[in-house]
Amino acid sequence: MSLEYAILVSLQERAGSGYELARRFDKSIGYFWGASHQQIYRSLKRMVELGWVSADEVAQEKRPDKKVYRVSDSGTAELARWLAEPADPPTVRNELSVKIRGASYGEIEQVLAEVRRHRTLHAERRAVYQAIEQRDFPDRTRLSGQPLHQFLVLSGGIRTEQSMVDWCDEVIAALEADAGS
Amino acid sequence: MSLEYAILVSLQERAGSGYELARRFDKSIGYFWGASHQQIYRSLKRMVELGWVSADEVAQEKRPDKKVYRVSDSGTAELARWLAEPADPPTVRNELSVKIRGASYGEIEQVLAEVRRHRTLHAERRAVYQAIEQRDFPDRTRLSGQPLHQFLVLSGGIRTEQSMVDWCDEVIAALEADAGS
DNA sequence: AGCTTCATGTAAACTGTTACATGATTCC
DNA sequence: GGAATCATGTAACAGTTTACATGAAGCT
């Protein structure tokens, strides 16, 4: 159900169409909650039924019509209720770890190649987040309220990616040394 | 489908019953792949149908009968095939981040309380992993092969939890300072 | 002529969670 | 007498992924 709440937060920041929301989930919101356009359209439908959002049909020139969604009073209340509710961290599920743990039942070189590939992917994501940090929060000492919250989430993303890069480096070094001896 | 492969790795290390596997997913394997007993029984059934594992019925005294599963040749081959296959990192989905990003639409104190609770949970997990590290890998410099791979996965778990603890500390300090000003 | 962007959806397959269900033994 | 452990499953529901589906405008 969390996708609904991620959408509520995003629509609370700015009203928008399903398509626009899907774009946001490819970018800014994507670094803490990923979702495809199919999921978003389905969730919006449910949220309209629940009365959490209202949809205004907007006709556009030279573009297809779009429905602009905004959060209703009941949606605002529901978001506040959910924010106060505790939720445990999700179950750990790391496919790369399964492959490393099982490396001796396959070709270690191929697992190593996969770890190197992940190292690159995580370093790229970290670079993207750091670019956003530099662009949007140049003076991070005097942040307050909503911009502070946005910064803190971004900082978590950078920490997570950095931690993955460090771990991949440790794994690569250890497997290379083990293969060479 | 990854659960099947996590089970193959675990059964490759040692044959066992569904119940025993569920215990392992509560402990050692649990720190990189979580699964409930329901999922495990369902997967084992599928894996028998696929011919990846075979089940031997074992009668026990003063205990219910159990089925001991072991990996077949076809399962061994399938695991090796999967290990060589690339797989992208999973979609990021961090519920706590959604709550922090949306904090200004609810009671910040309650979100802060939730961050503090998560800080404790992650620190506890980290302590559990570090205890396993001290117990099972006292001399981590001379590890090789399977024990090395096990150590590297454990090290990833410690890094992840440490990174979450650090992030929670950053968030707590920032939100406290912002509330106090 | 073909690719990208805008714009919205449906449907099937797969994966994961929660609740229900049973029954014996062992420990306190 | 009651809780925990051993041992195995089914069923309903919720959520996610992948594939299919349509159609116009603008750019190269």
Q: Which helix (H) or strand (E) holds A46?
A: helix A37-50
A51: left (phi over 0), alpha (psi -120 to 50) or beta: left
Instruction: Tell me if A72 sits within 8 A of A51, measured CB to CB.
Output: yes
In A130-169, the residues whose Cβ lies within 8 Å of chain B are: 143-146, 148-150, 152-153, 155-157, 159-160, 162-164, 166-167
User: Can you tell me which residue has its alpha carbon closest to the C1' of nucleotide D16?
Assistant: A39
User: Can you tell me which residue has its alpha carbon closest to the C1' of nucleotide C11?
Assistant: A38
* Per-residue confidence (pLDDT) for residue B66, from 0 to 100: 84
Tell me how far apart the alpha carbons of residues A27 and A21 are, in angstroms, rounded to a whole number.
10
Q: Write the pLDDT tens digit of every residue in B100-146.
A: 999 999 999 999 999 999 999 999 999 999 999 999 999 988 899 99
How large is the average pLDDT for residues A134-153?
Answer: 94
| Closest CA–CA distance from residue A155 to any residue of chain B (Å) | 8
Tell me how far apart the alpha carbons of residues A167 and B49 are, in angstroms, rounded to a whole number.
37
Q: Write the pLDDT tens digit of every residue in A22-70.
A: 999 988 888 899 999 999 999 999 999 999 999 998 887 777 788 999 9
Instruction: Tell me if A41 sits within 8 A of A18, measured CB to CB.
Output: yes
**Residue contact B83–A106, C-beta within 8 A:** yes
Q: Is the dihedral of CA B54, B58, B64, B70 positive or negative?
A: negative
* Per-residue confidence (pLDDT) for residue A61, from 0 to 100: 72
At A87 the three-state DSSP class reads coil
Average pLDDT, chain A: 93
Tell me how far apart the alpha carbons of residues A121 and A173 are, in angstroms, rounded to a whole number.
18
* Per-residue confidence (pLDDT) for residue B124, from 0 to 100: 93
In B53-72, the residues whose Cβ lies within 8 Å of chain A are: none
**Residue contact B159–A166, C-beta within 8 A:** yes
Q: Write the pLDDT tens digit of every residue in A73-122.
A: 999 999 999 999 999 999 889 999 999 999 999 999 999 999 999 999 99
Residue A129 has pLDDT above 90, yes or no: yes
Q: Is residue A126 very low, low, confident or very high in pLDDT (cuts 50, 70, 90)?
A: very high
- The position carrying tokens 């800014």 is A28
Name the DSSP letter for residue A85: S
- Which pair of tokens denotes residue A160? 């997570």
HEC states along B17-31? Answer: CHHHHHHHHHCHHHH
How large is the average pLDDT for residues B151-158?
Answer: 97
At B68 the three-state DSSP class reads strand
* Per-residue confidence (pLDDT) for residue B26, from 0 to 100: 87
**Residue contact B106–A79, C-beta within 8 A:** yes
Mutate to test the interface with A, among B10, B99, B158, B172 (most CBs of A within 10 A): B99
**Residue contact B83–A102, C-beta within 8 A:** yes
Residue B22 has pLDDT above 90, yes or no: yes
Closest CA to B155 of A47, A124, A145, A115: A115
Closest residue in B to A144 (Cα–Cα): B178
A60 touches strand C (CB under 7 A): yes
Closest CA to B157 of B58, B1, B28: B28
Q: Tell me the CA–C1' distance in angstroms for B2 and C18.
A: 21
Enumerate long-range contacts of B7-11, CB under 8 Å, 24 or more apart: B7/B40, B7/B43, B7/B44, B7/B47, B7/B53, B8/A102, B8/A105, B8/B47, B8/B52, B8/B53, B8/B71, B8/B75, B8/B78, B8/B79, B9/A98, B9/A101, B9/A102, B9/A105, B9/B79, B11/B53, B11/B69, B11/B70, B11/B71, B11/B75
Residues in B closer than 8 angstroms to A181, CB to CB, are 144
- The position carrying tokens 């778990």 is B157
The two most distant CA atoms of chain A are separated, in Å, by 68
Q: Tell me the CA–C1' distance in angstroms for B42 and D4.
A: 25
Interface check A27 vs B, CB under 8 A = no
Q: Which amino acid is at A56?
A: D
Q: Write the pLDDT tens digit of every residue in B38-70.
A: 999 999 999 999 999 999 888 776 777 788 999
Contacts of B42 (CB under 8 A, 6+ apart): none
* Per-residue confidence (pLDDT) for residue A28, from 0 to 100: 84
Which nucleotide is nearest to B35 if distance is taken from CA to C1'? C16
At A166 the three-state DSSP class reads helix
B101 touches strand D (CB under 7 A): no
Residue A1 has pLDDT above 80, yes or no: no
φ/ψ of residue B84, rounded to 5: -85, -10
Interface check A171 vs B, CB under 8 A = yes
Percent of chain B with pLDDT over 70: 98
Q: Is the dihedral of CA A167, A34, A98, B18 positive or negative?
A: positive
Mutate to test the interface with B, among A5, A98, A111 (most CBs of B within 10 A): A98
